[in-house]
Structure 1
Amino acid sequence: MEAVYSLAFMPDAPIIEKVKTMKLNLADKIGWFNSKNSLAHITICEFTLNESTWEQMEKKVSATIATFTPFNVELIGFDHYPNGAFYITPDIESKKVLKEIMKSITTSVPVKNQHKSSDPHLSIARKLNPEQLKKAMQMFTSIHESFICDAIYLRRFNPEIKQFDVIKSYPFLSQFPSTGIQTSMF
């Protein structure tokens, strides 16, 4: 059976709760909006696959993720895209590391129907009209939060609730990449 999957970075529980509260406060002011009920995350990619196909790729993806080393992500401000997305932005150094990992992961997930994110951000709302966006920008003007990024999460779209469910995490283990070359001389 085919399913829609997503790989994402997720902040720690206190930031997830803070973002949830922000979304609820925004909804009180502007009404319902896209991504209102989505848990805080930074999307790496989304793709559609048969479950057995993912199981075949999972070993390679897991091995790639195991080579990453945990790092600190600084969330430093709010911004928006022309399409009405309002989001929290990481600082320059965090973005640089996130982008490097995102590129490595999307290369490890060789699927044709993959939607890749190119700019790391933590969405608050999507598809806001200009008036809603103006209210969001007035409500939220500063933020400074940080979290240790130490895993990537596999999420599967749940059509009943129209949100992604976290189904697995892949920890960063700081392992050396396997090259397939024998490293022992004895």
Structure 2
Amino acid sequence: MGVETLQNRPKPVLLVPMTEQDMENAIRTIAEAFGTDDDPEQAPPSVEQFKGLQRIDPYALVLRKDEAGKIIGWSGLVPTSNKLAEAFVKKEMDENQIIQLASTSEPSYEAMYLWAFYNDPKSSTRQAGETLRLIKSQFKQIMADHPTIKRFYSWGFSPVGAELLERLSKDLGITIEMRPGSHESQGKRIPDNEI
């Protein structure tokens, strides 16, 4: 039986809703990481949009920062209606439309769009499994506040994103409906040190 050292123990997950300054910083990071400025199907983020999503639930957008206050990770889980979920998985609406409608409509807590996850690959303060722990904690908080959410959907934007969604599905015991055209999981388990 070994003794676990403090540096090997995972840091506790603190769910911190974004401030307006965080939103502005996150928008720059998102545009660089996901190319949202050049892709009409992705939701190009704005402060107004982020504020609308936080009106739905204060934990819809959460982030992680390093000791210097730099954003090193964030997650977006958005409660929506079943109507929006159905339109998305049938490709009748794209991500941009879903986020726009969710952020400006009367909140509905029937479904959840697992929107976006970011982990700074250059961060020197990353810990194995940190992004996964953040998303799971966020998910559990939103579900505790809105137990009427029964449907989960997403878009596997990248192969790594598809793998992460598969892992979340298994770890959380949920079925995540995928939009046609999503990248598919290759059945590889993403090592904790990569998420």
Give the TM-score band, short-chain normalised. Answer: under 0.3
TM-score (norm 2): 0.23
**More helix by percentage:** 2
Answer 1 or 2: higher relative contact order, Cα 8 Å, separation at least 6.
1
